[in-house]
Amino acid sequence: MATVRVQAGPFDVGAETAALTAGRTDIGGIGCFLGTVRAGSGERRVAAMHLEHYPGMTERAMQRIAAEAERRWELLGCTLIHRTGPLAPGEPIVLVLAAAAHRQPALAATEFLIDWLKTRAPFWKKEIFDDGTEAWVEAHDADDTAAARWRERD
């Protein structure tokens, strides 16, 4: 069973990794993706990011995404943590851990998990700029393209 959490506060990558591997000797590798808030490179710099989610549906969607990864790669464990609320540039925002017997499924599952998390879990980002203006982040076609790589053939 995957560990899935939506939380306002920070997470500890070391503690989450330790929890995933506690008492186990069958795990050969853990893939890790740690997403952080970018300040951006445009004229306006991002002063803060605000993350909104759909309590209930977001957790259900994350559980399903984790279950799909476990089905496809025979994972030995999996952790998905996504933060909400206000976040400053540089702060960690999302953590994906995928444990498997070997590196290949661990790394592939990690890529799959973040691709699907970005396109199938209900979260919305709003950027607050240093000039006081704000804007909701638009969905990117590149994210849909990345997620479509994992479509299974019938």
* Residues forming the site for another protein (CB under 8 A): 35, 51-54, 56-57, 60, 63-64, 82, 93-94, 114, 117-126, 136-140, 143
Least Å distance, CB 28 to another protein, is: 26
In DSSP terms, 33 is beta-bridged to: 96
Least Å distance, CB 86 to another protein, is: 15
Least Å distance, CB 136 to another protein, is: 5
| Alpha-carbon radius of gyration of the chain | 16
Q: Which is nearer to another protein, 101 or 108 (CB)?
A: 108
Residues with Cβ within 8 Å of 87's Cβ and at least 6 positions away in sequence, in order, are 37, 48, 49, 50, 51, 93
Least Å distance, CB 17 to another protein, is: 20
Helix axes 57-73, 103-120, angle to 10 degrees: 150
d(CA 82, CA 7): 6
Helices (H), 35-154: 57-73, 103-120, 141-148
